[in-house]
Chains A and B, each alone.
Chain A
Amino acid sequence: MLVEDKLVENEEAVYLRVENLSTKFFTSKGIVKAIDNLSFEIRKGEIFGLVGESGCGKSVTALSVMDLIQDPPGRITHGKIYIDNFNIIGDLDRLAKIDVRSETDVRIKRNKRMIKRHNEILSKIRGDKIAMIFQEPFLAMNPVMRIGEQISESILLHNRIDIANSIIRRENIDRGKSDSFIEYLETIKGTERALKEINVWTREYGVPDAELKIIELSRSALSINEKKEKMYELLLAEKRGVNLQAVFEEREYFKDREKLLELNMEMTGYEEKNDEVNARRVGEEIKELRRGMTGRNISFLLKQKLMKKQYERPFLQEARRRTLELLKLVNIAGAERVIDSYPHEMSGGMLQRAMIAMALASNPKMLIADEPTTALDVTTQAQILELIKNLNTVTDSAVLFITHDLAVIAEMCQRVGVMYAGNLVESAPVEIIFSNMKHPYTIGLMASVPRADKKRDKAMKLESIPGAVPNLISPPTGCRFHPRCKFKMDICSEKKPKLVEIEKDHKVACFLYSNEVEEN
């Protein structure tokens, strides 16, 4: 998919849009303005790179996009984050009133009920629509839980209805369905398509273990009727005598929960537009649905409490099978052994793959990678970068790739944003960033990177940016880069430059190129 096509696509192709995002940390030494009025967007299937030195706020951006900021000490104070056109942080003032008396004395009045609802909605979106992988694999995996357990947990969070359906279909399978499938198979000419069909069909009817046998059967020279006979026998063998009633109840319960989530999201949308009338109407619907739910699912909830093990078994088996599939997808060697081992028994590279598998558990449309290869060796890093690129093309999920290494950016990303001290100073397609960069900081950064591909010249010195990364409790006034900038003008220390599009999809925030000022 050429870069040009992507630019042309219309609005709804944007999967993540961040508008004027500000995140602050209230510490005993003062308020750290980690992110200051940040706006960017990522299109479907695109790998967007965010690069900058430590303390520039790129990791805080990653956490803010999924609202994982730990409160206390930090909070998102301003802005909107649209994931798949739904603003996940809704109306910030309803969540918590922040009363800033002085740099070190801040009072936060939190609305417990609203925050609980907000977290409920987010726990459905996180992992399902957007997932994240972290930098230190050994710290990011729970040391006392097996790898398989942690991945199954992620699967079971968002795919219960899907699993329940496949179990119910498998148990209720009858002769008609299997015969019609065999006839359908006969009509397909290409083996490639046949394999694909069988794969989809076995997934849908929850009999994936029989896939190999079915392929063999379809290739065998038996007559149609014999094939039908054998096929039905195969399917009967797959049945596991699951308590259907229980699975049915579970599915209903989770369907209600799904409906509840949609209503909640709708209500947040209305509240944001402070359209009180609709908000109250949806509020009523929610109350009434909740009353209905307790009535309908009381037997299920009771049984689930008492016979937890027996209820969970069919789901756990299915989750385990999907976990093995995921581990093979990220080509981990010896998946059977890895699924039952603990994080400390594996190497950094393998653990990072397991984390990627965990992130892909419920096929999210967007993946945030926060410096995934910084802690790895060069050869392992190459393998992981290769993996992420392949997964992006295979699953067509967008990637927000965060790193401090310009070389990795050139290797991986299609569009790039350069951050400095909480601001986005430049963003453009990757070729333009490396060939025709505009912002002084990007130029300085590019020049201070030692090159492994250039001929060595003993006397040659790296052009280095003087000074150090500023402290964000009392950031420099105006453009935050002015104390270290060679091209500093007077206006730079008074006003803050606006991020302006000077060329096709090439934005810069610097008074050298436009004198638009950003007011907040």
Chain B
Amino acid sequence: MESDKNQKNIVLFVTNLKKYFPITSGFRNKGVVKAVDGVTFWVREGETLGIVGETGCGKTTLGRTILRLIDPTDGEIYYDVPSDEMENIIKLETELQEKKERDGENKNDTEVETLLKELIPLRKKYSLSNKSNKEIIQKRKIMQPVFQDPFSSLDPRKLVKDIIAEPMKLLTDMSNEEIEKRTADLLSEIGLNEDHMYRFPHEFSGGQRQRIGLARAISIEPKLLVLDEPTSALDVSVQAQILNILKDVQERRGITYLFISHHLSVIRMMSDRVAVMYLGKIVELAETDRLFTDMLHPYTKALLSAIPVPDPKTKVQRVVLEGEIPSPSDPPKGCHFHPRCPVALPVCGWSPRDMSGPLQTMFDQFRNPELSILPEVNEIVVDEDGNSIEIKFVSAVKSSDEMVNIINKVIEKEQSLPNGVKFRSIKEIIPAPTGDGFTIKLIDPKVPHLREIRPGHFASCLLYDAPEGNTQPEFADVGKQAAYSR
């Protein structure tokens, strides 16, 4: 964590933030949607942090949780804390997290204990996550949202004058004249004029409504703006106007932006640093140009290579991912991206449910004729918790050892195939005592954590977790195949 002097101090620090939504159908609830699943990052004053990801990656929920429009399930949000306190908090919190992650099982309580003792009072004082509505209202003065859909972010029954004035009326003790004067100035700042005050929202175009929403947000001089897809619903020419205004406002007022979007081109233009999210976790966070040219995480590579480029001469060397984004209510084990990852390792999180399909095809006698001498497969039982798969034959086998040899040979063959990495996650084959089948035990998957691989460049991928003994990460070259290094 470089904290050299010339850097501005940190305005917002979010650690291990989680937001789970219960799924309720009828009376009993069936599990939980892990919209935000342990996110840690910080933002410096006047900086724009871009948050990018596809649908269902949790970026909007993250924005709404930070704004405390919804209550977080776990984790802390430190905002507008005196800089020295903040330094101390960040040190303690990151130390605590590293302790928890490293020795997950044999947690030596003493160390964690001391850290917690120090942190609890700080959390009570500064962290927004478990504050009551009244206390949070003070912080609302200095953080405001800007939303995506221009047509649902303004109250159709209210005049523009009252819409812009609402935050001032509720959060400041300005007199009505002051408020009216300030509203007029704000309107001219965003390119509308005073008469627009006495109009209803339905009398404006999409672009003009976004400007009114922005005027409302900056009316009380906030230090942080959370912009959730501010220009996604707009046409290109109108989007350019809004983005320019956002830049002017930031230059003039030094406001920090949390810029959430799924348009990577807009993100690259607006953000100083970018965080890429996938299924509720940050998979990579880095300075903008570094991320676009020198990305580390395989998902970032695939995501950036999928963007069409407005120049017919650039031929993009595309990494096309198969399959669809899994549902956040039941994410894959270990690294959430492992089922679709082109460079996955055996340890990345392969679990029995990933294996049942491939095992089925393995027993196809066209594919592996040598297996046809074994009896026909009756049933494949997946045991997620036990991390094992049991395969039952129709009848018993002559000799278990012979069966194990044949299967091991076939598995080696499968492992050599292009996406045979799944089979390399098989630890051992245990023949069933009754001889009519066998159980496959898989190696226990590891969970990747956001690590600072290079200064200021974080990634959460087991490729860089310096697997036992192998110092040079196998896939370090993913950065070099920069898609755009022309």
Of all chain A residues, the one with the shortest Cβ separation from B247 is A461
| The residue from B236, B263, B309 contacting A411, defined by CB atoms under 8 A apart | B309
Point out the residues of chain A lying under 8 angstroms from B92, CB to CB.
none
**Smallest Cβ distance from B200 to chain A, in angstroms?**
17
A444: min CB distance to chain B, Å: 7
Report how many residues on chain B are interfacial, defined by Cβ distance under 8 Å: 49
Cα–Cα, bound, A259→B321 (Å): 48
Tell which of B142-150, B264-272, B396-404 binds the partner: B264-272
Cross-chain contact B269 with A456 (CB below 8 angstroms) = yes
Q: Which A residue sits closest to B241, measured CB to CB?
A: A464
Contacting residues of chain A (354-390) with chain B, CB-CB under 8 angstroms: 377-383, 385-386
Q: How many residues of A contact B (CB 8 A)?
A: 49
B239 touches A448 (CB 8 A): yes
B243: A residues at CB distance < 8 A: 450, 462
Interface string of A414-432 (1 = CB under 8 A from B): 0000000000000000110
The B65-118 residues at the A interface (CB cut-off 8 A) are none
Asked if B310 contacts A406 (CB within 8 A), the reply is yes
Does B292 belong to the interface (CB within 8 Å)? yes
Determine which residue in A333, A409, A460, A469 has the highest number of CB atoms from chain B within 10 A of its CB, and name it: A469
A379-B306, A379-B321, A452-B309 given; A464·B268 CB < 8 A: no
> Which A residues are in CB contact (< 8 Å) with B54?
377-379
| Alpha-carbon gap, A464 to B211, bound state (A) | 15
Q: Which residues of A contact B207 (CB under 8 A)?
A: 468
Considering the complex, give the chain B residue whose CB is closest to the CB of A346: B324
Closest to A331 in B: B322
The A-contacting residues of B in range 298-331, CB under 8 angstroms, are 302-314, 318, 320-321, 323-325
B303 CB contact (under 8 Å) in A53, A379, A430: A379
Question: Is the pair B308, A408 in contact by a Cβ cutoff of 8 Å?
Answer: yes
Q: Give the residue of A53, A378, A408, A454 whose beta carbon is less than 8 angstroms from that of B236.
A: A53
How does the 8 Å CB contact mask read for A380-406 relative to B, with 1 for contact and 0 for none? 111101100000000000000000111
B244 at interface, CB cutoff 8 A: yes
Report the minimum CB–CB distance from B265 to chain A (whole Å): 4
Complex: A251 Cα to B148 Cα, angstroms: 55
Report chain B residues within 8 Å CB of A333: 323
Is the beta-carbon distance between B264 and A455 smaller than 8 angstroms? no
Question: Does A410 sit within 8 A of B, measured CB to CB?
Answer: yes
B306 in complex: contacting residue of A381, A405, A431, A448, CB < 8 Å: A381
Q: Which residues on the A side are within 8 Å of B236 (C-beta)?
A: 53, 404, 406, 445, 448-449
Of residues 245 through 272 on chain B, the ones whose CB sits less than 8 Å from some CB of chain A are 247, 262-272
User: Closest residue of chain B to A54, judged by CB?
Assistant: B235
A500 CB to closest chain B CB, in angstroms? 24
In the complex, chain B residues whose CB is within 8 Å of the CB of A464 = 237, 240-241, 244
Least CB separation from B243: chain A residue: A462
In the complex, the answer to whether A445 meets B237 with C-beta atoms within 8 Å is: yes
Chain B residues with CB under 8 Å of A386's CB are 318, 320
- A239 sits at the interface (CB 8 A): no
Contacts of B361 in A (CB 8 A): none
CA distance A201 to B239 in the complex (A): 56
Q: Judge whether B205 is part of the interface by a CB distance below 8 angstroms.
A: yes
Give the chain A neighbours of B265 by CB distance below 8 A: 407, 449-452
Please name all residues of chain A whose beta carbon is closer than 8 Å to the beta carbon of B307 when the two chains form the complex: 378, 407, 452
Partner among A404, A409, A466 whose Cβ is within 8 Å of the Cβ of B235: A404
How many Å from the CB of A222 to the closest CB on chain B?
20
Residue B238 CB within 8 A of the other chain = yes
> Are B304 and A452 in touch, CB under 8 angstroms?
yes
Residues 454-498 of A, flagged 1 when their CB comes within 8 A of B and 0 if not, give 111010111111101100000000000000000000000000000
Query: For the complex, what is the distance from the CA of A54 to the CA of B234, rounded to whole Å?
Result: 9
A338 to chain B, nearest CB (A): 12
Among A53, A378, A412, A434, the residue within 8 A (CB) of B264 is A378
Measured between beta carbons, the chain A residues less than 8 angstroms from B308 are: 381-382, 385, 405, 407-408, 410-412
How far is it, in angstroms, between the C-alpha of A454 and the C-alpha of B323 when the chains are bound? 30
Among A54, A406, A410, A464, find the residue whose CB has the most chain B CB atoms closer than 10 A: A464
Q: A450 contacts B55, CB within 8 Å? A: no
In the bound complex, do residue A448 and residue B266 qualify as a contact, i.e. CB atoms below 8 Å apart? no
Q: How far is the CB of A318 from chain B (nearest CB, A)?
A: 27
- Docked CA distance A448–B314 (Å): 19
- Min Cβ gap A192→B in Å is 20
Chain B residues positioned under 8 Å from A71 (CB to CB) = none
Contact (Cβ within 8 A) B264 A452: yes
Q: Which chain A positions have C-beta within 8 A of B266?
A: 450
A134 to B306, CA, bound (A): 22
- The reply to whether the CB of A278 lies closer than 8 angstroms to some CB of chain B is no
Is A347 located at the chain interface by the 8 A CB criterion? yes
- Scan residues 90-141 of chain A and give those whose CB is less than 8 A from a CB of chain B: none
In the complex, A455→B314 CA distance in Å? 15
- The answer to whether the Cβ of B288 comes within 8 Å of any Cβ in the partner chain is yes
Query: Chain A residues near B484 (CB, 8 Å)?
Result: 453
Closest to A460 in B: B269
Bound CA–CA A454/B310 (angstroms): 11
Sample (24) of A-B pairs whose CB atoms are under 8 Å apart:
A53-B237, A347-B324, A349-B324, A378-B303, A378-B306, A379-B303, A382-B318, A386-B318, A404-B236, A407-B265, A407-B308, A411-B309, A448-B236, A448-B239, A450-B240, A450-B265, A450-B266, A450-B269, A456-B268, A456-B288, A456-B289, A462-B243, A464-B237, A466-B241
Give 19 A-B pairs besides A379-B306, A407-B265, A458-B272 with Cβ atoms closer than 8 angstroms.
A54-B235, A377-B55, A378-B306, A386-B318, A404-B236, A406-B236, A406-B310, A409-B310, A410-B309, A410-B311, A410-B312, A434-B312, A445-B237, A452-B265, A453-B311, A454-B268, A461-B247, A465-B237, A468-B208
The 6 closest A-B pairs by CB, nearest first: A448-B240, A464-B240, A382-B306, A407-B308, A452-B265, A411-B308
